[in-house]
Amino acid sequence: MSESIVVENASKRFTMQYTKTIKQMTIAALRRQPLSDSFLAVDDVSFTVEQGESIGLMGLNGSGKSTLLKLISGVMRPDAGSVLTRGRIAGLIAAGAGFHPQLTGRENLFLNAAILGMSEAETKRKYDQMVDFADVGKFLGTPVGHYSSGMAARLGFAVAAFADSDIFLADEVLAVGDRPFKRKCMRRMEEIKKEGRTLFYVSHAPGSVRKMCDRALVLVNGRLGFDGPVEEGLRFLQYDDSETDSDDDLGADI
Ligand SMILES: Nc1ncnc2c1ncn2[C@@H]1O[C@H](COP(=O)(O)OP(=O)(O)OP(=O)(O)O)[C@@H](O)[C@H]1O
């Protein structure tokens, strides 16, 4: 096996600005209140993923999952440490990310495919599969700015899911999709996994992580609190099966 993702002591710091106007800054300075504060959204995180592994990235809201995914996808750079990836990366990090609101769904499909490194010929070859999967019907000719968040997610996921990639990242894409679409996404991710691609899947739903992933990473306030088997990760998180959310049975029905 070869290494697919190597994250070494990666940290990402964000700054929160408490004051916006000069007046607010002056008042804060006179009161000796801080003008801003910074914190580590990802704090000294290290792990290695082998090609073909399926990772479930879990953790409470605000624990740094999306930020870590952005570091892996290259959308953000770490302030310290390093993030190395091997091969092509595809995935959906946020619904509508990378879409141009004034371009139609069809135009955005070609644009997104090009951003993911697909040639025009490759996109044309996979066009029908992508359009079938997105299933946005007559809205394919409508500007994406008029799409609902679920529709934008469908189109984004469809392009990413059929692009050739070595690493597939999925962050909360399933959060905005309706139930049949979520099920379809889960089935497609199963296929992606079987194709030997590395899967990095952010989820709060134990059922789908159990079904999809062979390893769990759990972030706690930006730090890697757990790295190991999924069941142990769920126990670490203290996720109780009796209070599973509505997405959970999706893991069982695919
Ligand atoms: N661009 C940014 N600027 C400042 N703070 C940010 C930025 N992006 C995220 N944060 C903050 O960093 C922390 C981690 O956010 P992140 O979105 O990575 O968490 P998460 O684990 O994905 O949360 P959730 O489960 O709610 O999606 C949060 O406190 C968030 O407010």
pLDDT, tens digit, for every residue of 197-243? Answer: 999 999 888 888 998 999 999 999 999 999 999 999 999 998 766 55
Q: Residue 253 pLDDT > 50, yes or no?
A: no
- Average pLDDT score over the chain: 87
CB-based contact 185:229 (threshold 8 Å):
no
Say what the ipTM of the complex is: 0.96
Q: Which of 146, 164, 182 is the last residue of a domain?
A: 164
Residue 184 CA to residue 198 CA, distance in Å, equals 19
Instruction: Please give the distance, rounded to the nearest whole angstrom, from the Cα atom of residue 65 to the centre of ligand 1.
Output: 8
Contact 204, 251 (CB under 8 A): no
The helix/strand/coil state of 196 is coil
Q: Give the distance (Å) from ligand 1 centre to CA of residue 218.
A: 15
Same domain (yes/no): 99, 158: yes
Q: What does the block give as tokens for 44?
A: 């000294």
Of 14, 28, 7, give the one whose Cα is nearest residue 62. Answer: 14
Give residue 37's pLDDT: 81
The pick from 63, 221, 237, 239 for probing ligand 1's pocket by mutation, whose C-beta has the most ligand atoms within 8 angstroms, reads 63
Full domain range(s) for residue 100: 89-164
pLDDT digits (tens, 9 = 90+) for 110-140: 998 888 888 899 999 999 999 999 988 888 8
Which tens digit of pLDDT belongs to each residue from 76-121? 999 999 999 999 998 876 655 678 899 999 999 999 888 888 889 9
Q: Which numbered atom of ligand 1 lies nearest the CA of 63?
A: 21
Number of domains composing the chain: 2
- Residues, the chain, total? 254
In CATH, what number is assigned to the domain containing residue 140? Answer: 1.10.8
Note the pTM of the prediction, 2 decimals. Answer: 0.86
Q: Are residues 82 and 22 in the same domain?
A: yes
